[in-house]
Amino acid sequence: MGFETIRLEVEGAVATLTVDRPKALNALNSKALEELLAAVTQVHQQSGVRVLLVTGAGEKAFVAGADIAQMANYSAEEALAFSRAGHKVMAALEALPFPTIAAVNGFALGGGCELALACDLIYASEKAKFGLPEVTLAVIPGFGGTQRLARRTGLSRAKELVYTGEMIDASKAKEYHLVLEVLPVDKLLGHCREVAGKIASRGPLAVTKAKTVIAQGWDLDLAAGNELESQAFGSLFATADQKEGMQAFLEKRAAAFKGL
């Protein structure tokens, strides 16, 4: 499938999705949201992909936000439809059965911060900036920021960032538990690809189960979450990969997982 606003590349078990509107600082307009949803759907259906890496084109921005030029004259009904389109993208990203990694190389503001928040892991360059500045435009985050940010940073910090609309640098984002690591600009993608490669080398069914259990158990009480874990743990012993993994360990060799 050809795209105008994004690039999708697959190398081995790792797919890379790049928002490619550098002249607009990779801002998300309706076309970009449409293509992001199509790309995520395509990756979901593509066999062999075990990790998705998400980043932005150019040196300045991951995604600088939703496209204000497009939104400025929206009616309430049009704004609702735009918000729902953004939510569909973020939900599709979260629903992928394999892990996703955001490589935040520059500005991740508004919709860009929300795109990163929809990924499992977030790594940032030293030049990255994060924020949900919507209140400075007299609106609020519309692609999940009011919900996902608190799940990363805690409720009080999320309220502070949303209420003030202030932008924070990468080191502050790490302090707030929004970012896992801060890397030099020229090391960011290499680090993310190294993490992606490590994940891709593990038992894919086990990684998928782990992602599912963590996501579903998050809102459960501890006993219910632990039961969910036990059920998943047991089910994996019916897979060929489990047999291969444990036999390889006993034989002191690298496992050859097939996702079976």
Same domain, 102 and 119: yes
Last residue of a domain, one of 200, 221, 238: 200
Q: How many domains does the chain have?
A: 2
* Token pair 């500045």: residue: 133
DSSP state, residue 138: T
Q: Looking at the domain assignment, is residue 145 inside a domain?
A: yes
Q: Looking at the domain assignment, is residue 99 inside a domain?
A: yes
Q: Judge whether 134 counts as a catalytic residue.
A: yes
Per annotation, catalytic residue among 9, 114, 181, 194? 114
Same domain, 46 and 113: yes
Q: Looking at the domain assignment, is residue 260 inside a domain?
A: no
Relative to beta strand 14-19, strand 6-11 is: antiparallel
Q: How remote is the C-alpha of 238 from its chain's centroid?
A: 30
* Token pair 């955001």: residue: 102
pLDDT in tens, 32-88: 999 999 999 999 998 899 999 999 999 899 999 988 989 999 999 999 999 999 999
Domain limits for position 73: 6-200
Same domain, 150 and 41: yes
Q: Looking at the domain assignment, is residue 30 inside a domain?
A: yes
Contact predicate 85/132, CB 8 Å: no
CATH number for the domain that contains residue 245: 1.10.12.10
Q: How far is CA 44 from CA 11, 47, 93, 102, in A?
A: 15, 8, 9, 17
Decide if pLDDT at 1 tops 70: no
User: For all residues of the chain together, what is the average pLDDT?
Assistant: 96
Q: What is the pLDDT averaged over residues 163-181?
A: 97
Per annotation, catalytic residue among 77, 126, 134, 160? 134
In this prediction the pTM is 0.94
pLDDT in tens, 111-146: 999 999 999 999 999 999 999 999 999 999 999 999
Q: Looking at the domain assignment, is residue 58 inside a domain?
A: yes
Same domain, 226 and 142: no
pLDDT at 47: 87
In angstroms, rounded to a whole number, what is the distance separating the alpha carbons of residues 92 and 168? 27
In angstroms, rounded to a whole number, what is the distance separating the alpha carbons of residues 122 and 186? 16
* Token pair 């307009």: residue: 29
CATH number for the domain that contains residue 145: 3.90.226.10
Q: Looking at the domain assignment, is residue 23 inside a domain?
A: yes
Q: Looking at the domain assignment, is residue 258 inside a domain?
A: no
